[in-house]
A and B are shown apart, each in its own frame.
Chain A
Amino acid sequence: MTDILTPPALKAPARQRSPLWFAWQRFLSNKAALGGGIVLAILILMALLAPLITPVPPEAQLFLTQSLAFPSAEHWFGVDNLGRDFYTRIVYGARISLSIGFIAAGFSVLIGIPLGALAGYFGGRTDWIIMRIIELFSVVPPLLAAMLLGTLIRGGYPSIVAIAALFGWVQVCLLVRAQVKAFRDKEFVRAAQALGASPWYIIRRHLIPNSISPIIVGFVLAIPMAMMLEASLSFLGIGVPPPTPTWGQMINEGINFMFYYWHLAVFPTAALAITVLATSLFGDGLRDALDPTLKGR
């Protein structure tokens, strides 16, 4: 009798695989997401190392005599109408696109997490107000609103980041809210309440760490959205002003020459498409990997 009531102190079992390890395995088995992740990593590296892998500065008009030249061994993507090496400009364009994507997504997360956590934890009136704000943002087409705001505050890099963050936080907020709502009634939250922990403590210490996977997913999915927004605005001429190279601008200029000098439109469009596709695939893969309930698909 006594031996079953007082077992010897139990030794810790051999390390078991953590949920993150299984998530990583699920991610690895998703070929599209893995490919997207690799491409994205290469693009980031290219953007970071731009001065090392390009022959000339992006704004230098060194090849005016060869303006509009087609791709060649010397100029991989050709030369643009103002005599600049197009390959260099595409690589530097990645800097703008990616940095806007990441910074805007970062701000989206910064706005989305606290609002989502508040709405999810307190519910009731707080939730009602935040949900109405979210609805306001979902009803307005982002591009139209961005155009309006863009013209009002005269474009430029910071304003594009601000506009993208303004429309990107909604998704993050909804994801965090759903997660917090699901965890709010868990017993470890009640145990913390029984210990006298304040709502802020519970949100900070328990609910946000447990929302980490939706936050990562929200962050990654906000990136392509911001990049598309930047490209659209630059294309319309209210984005980042020239001569800073951005893909949207390049597509805009390339269109004028499209029927004679195809390379000016094709390369920036392809760069944008590949980046957005890779990020989206990567984000979708992350979401599936981090959400075991979707495992079956």
Chain B
Amino acid sequence: MSLVEIEDLRVSFRQYGGAVDAVRGVSFTVNEGESLGIVGESGSGKSVSCAALLRLLPPTAEVSATTLRLDGIDVAKAGKDDLVRLRGRAAAMIFQDPMTAFDPVFTIGHQIAETIQAHRNSSARDARKEAEDLLQRVEIKNASDVLDYYPHQLSGGMLQRAMIAMALSCRPKVLIADEPTTALDVTIQAQILQLIKKVQAEFGMALIMITHDLGVIAETVDRVLVMYRGEVMEQGPVQQIFDTPQHDYTKQLLASLHARFEPSRGSDSDTPALELKGLAKAYRIRRRRGLFNEYVDFHAVQEINLALPKNRIVAIVGESGSGKTTTGMMAMRLTDASSGQILVDGHDISNLSPEALKPWRRRMQVVFQDSYSALDPMMTLAQIIAEPLHIHGVGSPREQTETALSWLDRVGLDRSFANRYPHELSGGQRQRVAIARALVLEPTVLVADEPTSALDVTVKAQIIGLLKKLQAEMGLSMLFISHDLSTVKSLTDSVVVMYRGRVVEEAPTERIFSDPQHPYTRALLEAVPVTNPRDKRSRNFLSAEEIEARTPRLTVLQTGVAPHSKPQLVAIAPGHRVEAYVTN
């Protein structure tokens, strides 16, 4: 008998004036020890199906199913006691955002021990001992200290590990992971995925991996279920899905993994469209020391030099907190820099007053990450796109509206959208509007701050395609800030790698992917999920200390620069610079 049996599951949500069908007739089974991946875009019903399995849906949901069994128990008929047994012992769940999955006012140890005691009769001391043991099994090194930490004291990756430890505490037979790595950096994502595979093997659990990322699927599971709009499109062994996809939607998903673009043409001009010279940002942090306050500088970005040539796309990559967004915002003069210069087309704009800066604003624009908060909810799309023209007083109101309408066309939206409000649009459509607003003034420089990280895979490919198309048409120079290396590889001309507020490596895209020099760049590349399950491998991960220790060492002869006790950026090939220690 299978561990999970679902047949003809239907879920609909009641709303004012009608019901929304979230899941329409889904059937699947999971056997013991098996790992099943459910892939689909947001709203395809993948999370709702699994929440129905644990009866975690809100009361507005109506669930019906021919069979809905978990570990031999009919979930639909389960009483309160059965449910307690089901949740935790039969199945445990890991959520997307570990920050909100823990209660911020209790320590990690307390919360894990509480779960253990809720399911088993064990003393507080034993529960704590077991919690420590679990934390060690999820590879948290200082487990006994972490027990007494509060959730805010841990990083996202550490919290997700603790979350896994908590899920393991009741020895579940099936582990449901709902987008467990979506909120994490690439390097951390790879570590968490490897950890989930490891504990699955150790505890002999079944795994249901819910994700929109085919890379994650390729890395972790044996069998795949492709969902679209509440229905199962296709299911089969992972290799078969990747090699011979049957359904159009699956083909689209796979195609988006292998997007390729023409390199941008570049320009004859030597003056870069945007140049940052020694740009740095330090925040003053107040620390209390005895009776007095002590001020310490926190260097979010250390003197960074960066040139964006005309009609090129340069990527800034790095993990969260590496200073890449701060750099982009400083370049746009949305965040004040502590020192350094910003040169647009050879003119320093770093000290201009807001009035003097206004004409320059026309030449540089920005697209943000979160398309939900990027559009004013009280304005129609036509108003939003025409707003830049309005601010800069370009043309009459009628002409402004006409331009806005033509831009709706250009970003692939029908003109009938003009009088709609942002809440009526999907994430991808909003991002199209945000792009139109940024480009309507025909700027020469565009800073794109993770424009696709909140989007589904297929939509992401479309948005990237749109950006590339417009870039080529308009001869835009684009600074593409991202942590998604597969997009960076297909889209950009050169890459700048940032790590802890410093540039550690900079090279043409092809070179950085074929011949990375800095250990951090290598770690980043190593962590990119594979695009085919055949290539999956076990990985080694470097700690921060190991990355520091493995910084390349070069001699004066090799580099031609003076030796220094601190690592410095040195050129090792045309256009390829890497941070290295230079010694005699």
Chain B residues contacting A188 (CB-CB under 8 Å) are 373-376
| Cα separation A15 to B258 with both chains bound (whole Å) | 35
CB distance from A297 to the nearest CB of B (A): 15
Q: A13 to B361, Cβ gap below 8 A?
A: no
Binary contact track B387-404/A, C-beta < 8 Å → 1, others 0: 110011000000000000
Chain A residues contacting B417 (CB-CB under 8 Å) are 10, 12
Q: B461 to A186, Cβ gap below 8 A?
A: no
Q: B437 to A191, Cβ gap below 8 A?
A: yes
| Cα separation A105 to B224 with both chains bound (whole Å) | 61
Q: A192 to B458, Cβ gap below 8 A?
A: no
| Cα separation A10 to B420 with both chains bound (whole Å) | 13
Binary contact track A181-222/B, C-beta < 8 Å → 1, others 0: 000001110111111111001000110011010000000000
Q: Which of B354, B365, B392, B462 contacts A7 (CB 8 A)?
A: B462
Question: Of A10, A16, A206, which is in contact with the most chain B CB atoms at under 10 Å from its CB?
Answer: A10
Q: B354 to A196, Cβ gap below 8 A?
A: yes
| Cα separation A71 to B417 with both chains bound (whole Å) | 63
Between A and B, 11 residue pairs with Cβ closer than 8 Å are A4-B256, A5-B259, A7-B462, A10-B412, A12-B416, A18-B424, A187-B368, A196-B358, A197-B391, A206-B378, A209-B376
CB distance from A123 to the nearest CB of B (A): 15
Chain B residues contacting A19 (CB-CB under 8 Å) are 377, 423
Q: B391 to A187, Cβ gap below 8 A?
A: no
Q: Is A1's CB within 8 Å of the partner chain B?
A: yes
Q: A9 to B465, Cβ gap below 8 A?
A: no
Binary contact track A2-46/B, C-beta < 8 Å → 1, others 0: 001111011111011111001001000000000000000000000
Chain A residues contacting B409 (CB-CB under 8 Å) are 9
Binary contact track A206-240/B, C-beta < 8 Å → 1, others 0: 10011010000000000000000000000000000
Q: B376 to A210, Cβ gap below 8 A?
A: yes
CB distance from B462 to the nearest CB of A (A): 6
Q: A22 to B424, Cβ gap below 8 A?
A: no
Q: Is B573's CB within 8 Å of the partner chain A?
A: no
Chain B residues contacting A194 (CB-CB under 8 Å) are 332, 334, 361, 364-366
Give residues of chain B (390-436) contacting chain A, Cβ–Cβ below 8 Å: 391-392, 409, 412-414, 416-417, 420-421, 423-424, 429, 434
Q: B429 to A195, Cβ gap below 8 A?
A: no
Q: Which of B364, B374, B416, B469 contacts A191 (CB 8 A)?
A: B374
Q: Is B252's CB within 8 Å of the partner chain A?
A: yes
Residue of A nearest to B372 (CB): A187
Q: A195 to B391, Cβ gap below 8 A?
A: yes
Chain B residues contacting A205 (CB-CB under 8 Å) are 387
| Cα separation A197 to B362 with both chains bound (whole Å) | 11
| Cα separation A25 to B187 with both chains bound (whole Å) | 46
Q: Which of A7, A22, A193, A209 contacts B334 (CB 8 A)?
A: A193
Question: Of A15, A18, A195, A201, which is in contact with the most chain B CB atoms at under 10 Å from its CB?
Answer: A195
Q: Is B574's CB within 8 Å of the partner chain A?
A: no
Q: B423 to A16, Cβ gap below 8 A?
A: yes
Q: How many residues of A contact B (CB 8 A)?
A: 35
Chain A residues contacting B255 (CB-CB under 8 Å) are 1, 4
| Cα separation A253 to B458 with both chains bound (whole Å) | 76
| Cα separation A196 to B374 with both chains bound (whole Å) | 16
CB distance from A285 to the nearest CB of B (A): 17
| Cα separation A18 to B378 with both chains bound (whole Å) | 11
| Cα separation A6 to B432 with both chains bound (whole Å) | 13
Q: Which of A4, A18, A206 contacts B376 (CB 8 A)?
A: A206
Q: A25 to B412, Cβ gap below 8 A?
A: no
| Cα separation A212 to B438 with both chains bound (whole Å) | 27
Q: B421 to A18, Cβ gap below 8 A?
A: yes
Q: Is B78's CB within 8 Å of the partner chain A?
A: no
Q: A201 with B391: in contact, given A188-B375, A196-B361 (CB under 8 Å)?
A: yes
Q: A9 to B412, Cβ gap below 8 A?
A: yes
In this complex, the interface size class of chain B, counting residues with CB under 8 Å from chain A, is 35 or more
Beyond known contacts A191-B374, A196-B357: 17 more, CB 8 A cutoff: A1-B255, A4-B252, A4-B462, A5-B462, A9-B409, A10-B412, A15-B424, A16-B424, A190-B366, A192-B387, A193-B334, A196-B358, A196-B392, A201-B391, A206-B376, A210-B376, A212-B378
Chain B residues contacting A7 (CB-CB under 8 Å) are 412, 462
Question: Of B369, B465, B469, which is in contact with the most chain A CB atoms at under 10 Å from its CB?
Answer: B465
Q: A9 with B334: in contact, given A22-B16, A187-B370, A187-B374 (CB under 8 Å)?
A: no
Q: B256 to A195, Cβ gap below 8 A?
A: no
Q: A5 to B373, Cβ gap below 8 A?
A: no
| Cα separation A22 to B17 with both chains bound (whole Å) | 10
Q: A5 to B370, Cβ gap below 8 A?
A: no
CB distance from A25 to the nearest CB of B (A): 5
| Cα separation A197 to B414 with both chains bound (whole Å) | 28
Chain A residues contacting B17 (CB-CB under 8 Å) are 17
Q: A9 to B413, Cβ gap below 8 A?
A: yes
| Cα separation A127 to B364 with both chains bound (whole Å) | 32
| Cα separation A209 to B255 with both chains bound (whole Å) | 43
CB distance from A289 to the nearest CB of B (A): 13
Q: A191 to B465, Cβ gap below 8 A?
A: no
Residue of B nearest to A206 (CB): B376
Q: A198 to B354, Cβ gap below 8 A?
A: yes
| Cα separation A105 to B434 with both chains bound (whole Å) | 38
Residue of A nearest to B419 (CB): A12
Q: Which of A6, A13, A210 contacts B465 (CB 8 A)?
A: A6
Chain B residues contacting A210 (CB-CB under 8 Å) are 376-378
Question: Of B332, B391, B392, B469, which is in contact with the most chain A CB atoms at under 10 Å from its CB?
Answer: B391
CB distance from B456 to the nearest CB of A (A): 12
| Cα separation A11 to B424 with both chains bound (whole Å) | 12
Question: Of A1, A5, A19, A197, which is in contact with the most chain B CB atoms at under 10 Å from its CB?
Answer: A5
CB distance from A211 to the nearest CB of B (A): 10
Residue of A nearest to B258 (CB): A1
Q: B378 to A209, Cβ gap below 8 A?
A: yes
Binary contact track B274-303/A, C-beta < 8 Å → 1, others 0: 000000000000000000000000000000
Give residues of chain B (434-464) contacting chain A, Cβ–Cβ below 8 Å: 434, 437-438, 441, 458, 461-462
Residue of A nearest to B252 (CB): A4
Binary contact track B325-349/A, C-beta < 8 Å → 1, others 0: 0000000101000000000000000
Chain B residues contacting A18 (CB-CB under 8 Å) are 421, 423-424
Residue of A nearest to B371 (CB): A187
Binary contact track B476-505/A, C-beta < 8 Å → 1, others 0: 000000000000000000000000000000
Chain A residues contacting B416 (CB-CB under 8 Å) are 11-12
Chain A residues contacting B423 (CB-CB under 8 Å) are 16, 18-19
Chain A residues contacting B374 (CB-CB under 8 Å) are 186-188, 191
Binary contact track A140-175/B, C-beta < 8 Å → 1, others 0: 000000000000000000000000000000000000
Chain B residues contacting A187 (CB-CB under 8 Å) are 368-370, 373-374
Q: A12 to B414, Cβ gap below 8 A?
A: yes
Chain B residues contacting A13 (CB-CB under 8 Å) are 424
| Cα separation A201 to B392 with both chains bound (whole Å) | 12
| Cα separation A285 to B256 with both chains bound (whole Å) | 48
| Cα separation A194 to B374 with both chains bound (whole Å) | 12
CB distance from B10 to the nearest CB of A (A): 23
Chain A residues contacting B392 (CB-CB under 8 Å) are 195-196
| Cα separation A73 to B275 with both chains bound (whole Å) | 88
| Cα separation A188 to B417 with both chains bound (whole Å) | 19
Q: A190 with B368: in contact, given A1-B255, A17-B16 (CB under 8 Å)?
A: yes
